[in-house]
Amino acid sequence: MESLVKFVQDEFVTKKDFPNFSAGDTITVYYEIKEGEKTRTQFFKGVVIQRRGTGATETFTIRKMSGTVGVERIFPINLPALQKIEVNKKGKVRRSRIFYFRGLTGKKARIKEVRS
């Protein structure tokens, strides 16, 4: 049964070419919003907190600060409204899910950048 599900996902789910990113990276996600009959592109820029799942069900969570309030958004990788993903900074973290980042403020909330 699993092989049948994998076959259907490989054949019928359209794959988009997004850059490699992981937890700790700062990325900008451009996605389409439909308002009535009009569509517009909006972006969400923040730090990747986690990537979870595999294949068609893979998702990633981004966190940004809007004033003094933290805002998180979960995006499925295969969301049809996703237009592009830009990696702004590669971060160096030791974990794949950095939930501790939610409790940090000020200078402690900085992530070291990987120079390549």
Structural domain of 48: 1-92
Decide if 35 is inside a domain.
yes
Residue 33 lies in a domain: yes
Q: For the chain, how many structural domains are there in total?
A: 1
Q: What is the pTM of this model?
A: 0.84
Is there a domain that residue 26 lies in? Answer: yes
Tens digits of residue pLDDT in 95-110: 999 999 999 888 998 9
Domain membership of residue 97 (yes or no) is: no
CATH code, domain carrying 31: 2.30.30.790
Residue 28, pLDDT > 80, answer: yes
| Strands 69-76 and 59-66, bridge-based pairing | antiparallel
Residues 52-102 have pLDDT tens digits of: 998 778 999 999 999 889 999 999 998 889 999 999 999 999 999 999 999
Enter the tokens of residue 112: 């070291």
Q: Is residue 116 part of a domain?
A: no
15 pLDDT tier (thresholds 50, 70, 90): confident
CB contact at 8 A, 49 and 23: yes
- The answer to the question of residue 99 being in a domain is no
